[in-house]
Amino acid sequence: MAVEANERVWPRIVVVGSLNLDLVMQVEAFPKEGETLFGSGLSEVAGGKGANQAAAVGKLGTAVSLIGKVGRDASGDKLIHSLQQAGVDTCALLPSDQPTGRALITVNASGHNYIVVIPGANADLTPFDIDEQRQVIEHCEMVVLQLEIPIETVAYTLRLAKRLGKTTILNPAPAPAHQLSSELLQLVDFLIPNEHELQSLTGFQAVADPASLEVAAQSLLELGAQAVLVTLGEKGCCYLDRQQVKTYPARKVEAVDTTAAGDSFIAGFAVSYLQQRDLDAAVAYAQQVAAITVTRHGAQSSLPTREEVEAFG
C-alpha cells in the first residue's frame, strides 16, 4: 500500500550530494609517475561523499534523506540498495540519463588514499531538482552538503535552507579550484574542511602548524562562515568561531583505509550536534565514528552503527 504524504516519516537531516560506485584498489605504496605496480586487492563498493554521509547518519540511527541523482543503470540500483540497507530514505533520489557517478580509489598500506571522481549523474543535479524536493528540506532540521555536485546547486540549496531556518553544514570536498564566495559562506553554519581543502579555500600554502592553520581558518570566518571545523587526520581537529578557538586530539587507532574518514566524521558531528547542541560532545562523537571507520576497508562498508560507536566508548 502506498504511504500517504502526511504519513511519511520526515528526516531530521537532509544530505544533498553525490553518489558514486567506487572501484577500490589496494597497493603497498603509491606508484611514481610512469611506474607500474602490482596491487593486492580490488573491490567495488558503494560510495560518493553525499551517499557516504547519508549512510553514516542512517547507521547512527537518525532519520535521514538523500537528495541526489543516479543513472538508469545497475550501478545506480546497487547504490540505492546500499543506502536503504543503511536506513536512508531514498525517495528524494532522482534518475538521470547520464551514467551513475564513479570513483577510482587507490589505498596504500598505511591506509592513505588517492581518489579520482567521474561525476556522471551527479553533475545533473540542478536547482530545479532541489525545488522539486523542497518539502523534504522544509520538514528537516539540518542540511548537509559537499562539492561533488554543481556549485550553483550547492549555493541554491544553502539559500533555501537558511530561508527555511535550517542548520547548515558544508564539507568543501573535493577541494575547490577557487575560493568560495562570501555570499555562499555566509549561508554556512559549520564549514568542515580537512587541511588540504583549507589550503585550497584560502590560498595559504602552509597550514601545518597551529598558528598558520588558525590564520587560514580565521580568514574564512571573516568571509562569512559562522564556524570552521578543520579535520587533521591523526592530528585531531581544530574548531574556530568568532568567540573561541579549540583543538581536539585524535582518537588513536591503527588505520587501514581512510576513504570515508571525513564523511563519517561529518555524519557523527551532525547527529550528535542535532541531538545535544553541544560542540565538545559533537566533536568527541564524530571522532569516535571516524576512528572506527578507518579501521575497516571501503566507504559505506566501513561505517559503524550506533551500537558499535557506543561500545567503542
Considering only CA atoms, which of 70, 20, 16, 90 is closest in space to residue 48?
A: 20
- Count Cα atoms within 13 angstroms, Cβ side, for 2: 4
* 126 among annotated binding-site residues: no
State how far the Cα of 235 lies from the Cα of 176, in Å rounded to an integer: 23
**pLDDT attached to residue 269:** 98
**pLDDT attached to residue 3:** 36
**Is the pLDDT assigned to residue 44 strictly greater than 50?**
yes
pLDDT tens per residue across span 50-87:
999 999 999 999 999 999 999 999 999 999 999 999 99
**Is the pLDDT assigned to residue 7 strictly greater than 80?**
no
Q: How far is CA 30 from CA 38, 152, 256, 273, in A?
A: 10, 34, 15, 37
* 50 among annotated binding-site residues: yes
**pLDDT attached to residue 94:** 97
* 49 among annotated binding-site residues: yes
State how far the Cα of 180 lies from the Cα of 224, in Å rounded to an integer: 10
Domain boundaries, the chain: 11-18+49-69+87-93+125-312
Class of domain 11-18+49-69+87-93+125-312: alpha beta
* 166 among annotated binding-site residues: no
Question: Which contacts of 208-213 are long-range, i.e. CB under 8 A and separated by 24 or more positions?
Answer: 210/238, 210/247, 213/238
**pLDDT attached to residue 1:** 29
* 293 among annotated binding-site residues: yes
DSSP SS3 for 206: coil
**pLDDT attached to residue 72:** 97
| Strand-pair category, 167-170 with 142-145 | parallel
* 298 among annotated binding-site residues: yes
Considering only CA atoms, which of 47, 23, 40 is closest in space to residue 104?
A: 23
**Is the pLDDT assigned to residue 41 strictly greater than 90?**
no
Q: Model confidence at 206, in pLDDT bands (50, 70, 90)?
A: low
**pLDDT attached to residue 160:** 98
State how far the Cα of 14 lies from the Cα of 188, in Å rounded to an integer: 15
- The answer to whether 280 is a known catalytic residue is no
All three cell numbers of 206, joined, read 602552509
Q: Is residue 195 within 8 Å of 204, Cβ to Cβ?
A: no
All three cell numbers of 21, joined, read 560506485
* 231 among annotated binding-site residues: yes
Q: Which of 129, 263, 278, 280 is catalytic?
A: 263
* 148 among annotated binding-site residues: yes
Q: Model confidence at 208, in pLDDT bands (50, 70, 90)?
A: low
- Mean pLDDT taken over the chain: 92
Q: pTM of the full predicted structure?
A: 0.91
* 94 among annotated binding-site residues: no
State how far the Cα of 239 lies from the Cα of 97, in Å rounded to an integer: 41
**Is the pLDDT assigned to residue 247 strictly greater than 60?**
yes
